[in-house]
Chain A
Amino acid sequence: MHYYTDALNNKVFLKIFFRTFIFALFSAVMACFFGVVLAFLFKKNDNTFTKPFFKLAQLPVMLPHIFIVLALLQLLSQTGLVSSLLTKIGIIHSYNSFPLLLNDQWQIGIILTYLWKEVPFVIVSLVLVLRQMDNRYRIVSENLGATKWQTFWRVSLPLLMPAIVNAFIINFSFNFGAYEVLYLLGNQTKELLPVYIYDLYVQGDYTQLPMIMSLNLILSVFSIAFAGIVLWLSKHLPGGHTGGI
């Protein structure tokens, strides 16, 4: 049992834990926000863009994270393509003045990677629901004098809420616990949790094992509790959505 109290008293662990939590929450919220906006923009079947849009959105879901990481390295690193382009145009003088976007303190590279993967994921899961959704609710609501905004906020969004919450939880848990992207694009001084645990597991000796197991259990329990809280909130907040009126 003392491993658990040790883990909870470990300042480094707590700091990394908190940082990872904020990071995962931020990227998951961003992904859901953009995903919902885009899904709503392209939901109507009569729109000429809907079909190609949906096909496009499916692409990133099928590709591994390493794909986008590789492309980002070629595009956004200090000696990357965007940097070259800006130098050519004359906006910046040399690659040194291009901001550090990968392996940076603020994890911008990782967030971009996750957004590229997760916004399409949200879109794909929402479009499937939007297609089955009964249009009559919307029409009734507009017929009864609700503005477009009210209809969206009070009718469409609550109907979509379960799908959004599901996607949010999946994204959050992934951001919270996935290792590979952090390993490739992370910043050494601002370590995130998965890398921390992986290093402990691979480099640490077997006496460390109980410690790692207890860390893992704490993380798992935390994630499950967090998912439970999000689900509960989504059901019990007025209007059935977070940040409601």
Chain B
Amino acid sequence: MESKKITKLVVYLIFAVLILMPLFVIFMLAISKTWSYPSLWPKWVDWGYYFRFLFKSKEVQSSLISSLELAIGTVILTIAIAYPTAMALSYYDFKGKKLLNVLVYLPLIIPSIALLTNMDFIMIKYGLNGSFFGVVSVHTLFCLPYAVKLLYDNLILWKDKYEVASRNLGASSLQTFFKVTVPMNKNGLQGAVMMTYIVSMTQYLSTLLIGDGNYLTLSVRMFPFTTSGKYRMAAVYGITFMLVTLIPLYLIDIWVTHKGRKIA
């Protein structure tokens, strides 16, 4: 039994190193000045450099804002589409349910390069390329499978029993939705919002191609710096990315679990 524990510890440590090493490297890149071959450690480390840069640089700020704009727009549009879909899939039996189930997953199955080049073509045709709605709708396309799946898995646990009871007791359909469905489905909703936010933030090619370069988000801006060897600048954008994804998600996580305890 002891040896088993030790194996687990070793595996865990290797896993942790493999996961954290890249993050550490990026962190060091962002705060160091000269770190090139063959030195193992940056010659010059300035902790304040990153923050000074963050507050000074208009480019970082503008890309941060466009990232957040797109992400929030995508979350709203995705939830607005995914919630009714997930409810329909979990509550009702209807003709074509199986087909809808498959259709929901298609954006994940079709190679994204095929999807994107064709989407770009369509967007140009309808004059939506470069517009906010165009980019958000493409992001939404990639987020929907995750959102529907997460909401569905949660909704199927109770089906519509409680909604039926609530309606039976005289609540309106809006009341039922906000006082019964959403609170009971909190975990699924949280997962769906988080996942949508992440997927939207990480999109590169879709933002660039459909956005016609109008939306230079954080992940889009990291690309030219990486290809031209300016790793440090890319790392600065990377750290900013982590700040705006990991911290809010962590806070949401804490907030939801905290609230959950109060209700229960």
Contacts and interface: CB of A to CB of B under 8 A. Distances in A.
Nearest to A58: B249
Interface residues of B, number: 54
Interface residues of A, number: 63
A60 B22 CA distance: 10
23 contacts: A41-B8, A41-B11, A63-B23, A64-B202, A66-B219, A67-B22, A67-B241, A70-B26, A70-B235, A73-B226, A74-B25, A74-B231, A80-B37, A116-B18, A116-B19, A174-B112, A177-B113, A177-B114, A179-B116, A179-B205, A194-B111, A209-B121, A220-B115
Interface of B: 8-9, 11-12, 15-16, 18-23, 25-26, 29, 35-40, 106, 108-118, 120-121, 198, 201-202, 204-205, 219, 222-223, 226-227, 231, 234-235, 238, 241-242, 245-246, 249
A62 B245 contact: yes
A212 B222 CA distance: 28
A180 B113 contact: no
Given A62-B249, A173-B108, A42 B22 contact: no
Q: Determine the main DSSP class of A at the interface with B.
A: helix
Contacts of A56: 15-16, 19-20
Given A56-B16, A59-B23, A66-B226, A87 B111 contact: no
A189 B35 CA distance: 30
Contacts of A184: 223, 226-227
A242 interface: no
A173 B25 contact: no
Nearest to A67: B238
Interface in A33-65: 38, 41-42, 47, 49, 52-53, 56-57, 59-65
Contact of A95 (B15, B21, B38, B110): B38
B223 A180 contact: yes
Majority-rule SS of B interface residues? helix
A27 interface: no
Interface of A: 38, 41-42, 47, 49, 52-53, 56-57, 59-75, 79-81, 83-85, 87-88, 95, 116, 120, 169-170, 173-174, 176-180, 184, 193-194, 197-198, 201, 209, 212-213, 215-217, 219-220, 223-224, 227
Given A56-B16, A80-B37, A180-B204, A67 B117 contact: no
A114 B106 CA distance: 21
B146 to A, nearest CB: 10
A49 B120 CA distance: 46
A81 B40 contact: yes
A59 B241 contact: no
Contacts of B231: 70, 73-74
A41 B112 CA distance: 33
A197 B110 contact: no
B114 A71 contact: no
B117 A84 contact: no
A47 B8 contact: yes
Contacts of A69: 226
A71 B38 contact: no
B29 A74 contact: yes
B109 A173 contact: yes
Contacts of B25: 71, 74-75, 81
A63 B202 contact: yes
B112 A178 contact: yes
A79 B109 CA distance: 37
A113 to B, nearest CB: 10
Contacts of A75: 21-22, 25
Nearest to A20: B111
Contacts of A198: 113, 117, 205
Contacts of A176: 111
A213 B115 CA distance: 10
Most chain A beta-carbon contacts within 10 A, residue among B19, B113, B227, B234: B113
